[in-house]
Amino acid sequence: MFGFMKKTMVDQADALSGRDTRMPVPDHHEVLDTPPAGPYPEGAQIAEFGMGCFWGVERIFWRLGQQNGIITTAVGYAGGYTANPTYEEVCSGRTGHTEAVRVVFDPRLTSYEDLLKVFWEGHDPTQGMRQGNDAGTQYRSMILYRGEDQRKAAEATRDAFQPALTSSGYGPITTEIVPAGEFYFAEPYHQQYLSDAKNPNGYCGVGGTGAVCPIGVARTDG
């Protein structure tokens, strides 16, 4: 119905126009009990990733826990053209967005490189416009960086991870590394969808390759 298998990027001129009305965002995180849309604590930093179905991806990051620097997480749409899209519109392939996760973290407790390691190892970044059985442009792998330090770290860890993937029989990394634009929060029911409060037995097939990203080799000084 909504074109879930669309595997080619829509041209900007053909993208849905969207709307001015923003999606409401819950006041608190179902697991971490922090505000997903802020305000965030002073000194907090933001990382945004696309790595397949955002339900499972968000769970990967919130499970790292506040003791490991995770302040809050949220799911949304990013990397495309349509303003304030709906889930159905994103699944149509006519917005250009990927399903994305925002991770707000305390850099005193974890580093951006540590989150990149989770990103690279948590999915298969070689599959193009799909992730496992989920096919379509909304499932493509993407790093949406904020500032030059994040860009350099993303590119360095990508380059460090490729040999590990190659030796495991995988092809070239297809992950897009692009500047972060507007992050459009997804509908409230998608937020922390796999939490015990919502779907304790929910399924999401996000999974990695088994290859290990050597972030110690790839760290940069900015």
5-53 tens-digit pLDDT:
577 999 999 999 999 999 999 999 999 999 999 999 999 999 999 999 9
- Beta strands, E only, 22-180: 45-50, 70-78, 98-105, 130-131, 134-135, 142-145, 176-179
Is residue 91 annotated as part of the catalytic site, yes or no?
A: no
Average pLDDT, the chain: 93
**Who wins on pLDDT, 132 or 79?**
79
Please, what's the b/e burial string for 170-198 (b: 16 or more CB within 10 A of its CB; e: otherwise)?
beebebeeeebeebbbbeeebbbbbbeee
Spatial distance between the Cα atoms of 31 and 39, rounded to a whole number of angstroms:
17
pLDDT tens-digit profile of 179-203? 999 999 999 999 999 999 999 888 7
pLDDT over 80 at 1, yes or no: no
Catalytic residue (choose from 53, 91, 204, 213) = 53
Spatial distance between the Cα atoms of 160 and 113, rounded to a whole number of angstroms:
12
Q: pLDDT band at residue 143, thresholds of 50, 70 and 90?
A: very high
pTM: 0.93
pLDDT at 205: 75
- Give the type of residue at 114: D
